[in-house]
Amino acid sequence: MGAILIQADSQSNKMLSDLAKKLGANVLSIKDEQFEDFALGSLMNTVKTNKNVSREIILKKLRK
């Protein structure tokens, strides 16, 4: 099972949602903030290094 995300204006979203429902697909509506969270999480997964960084190093970088 796959999924696609389409970000468009509200009128286009309504038309696409109606079409997907007519084709028998499940449609989930998400808010812009939820989409941004998903996009950020996806980006974080692509650049993940699996390395640990000490708290001191993080705080030092934040203080700059």
Torsion of CA 9, 37, 1, 10, to 10 degrees: -10
| pTM, rounded to two decimals | 0.57
Total domain count for the chain?
1
Cβ-Cβ contacts under 8 Å for 13 (sequence gap 6 or more): 6, 29
Q: What is the pLDDT of residue 1?
A: 74
Residue 3 lies in a domain: no
User: pLDDT digits over 9-51, tens only?
Assistant: 999 999 999 999 999 999 998 898 999 999 999 999 999 988 9
Q: What is the pLDDT of residue 3?
A: 85
Banded model confidence at residue 4, pLDDT cuts 50, 70, 90: confident
Residue 37 lies in a domain: yes
Domain span at residue 39 reads 10-63
| Number of other CB atoms surrounding residue 13 within 10 Å | 14
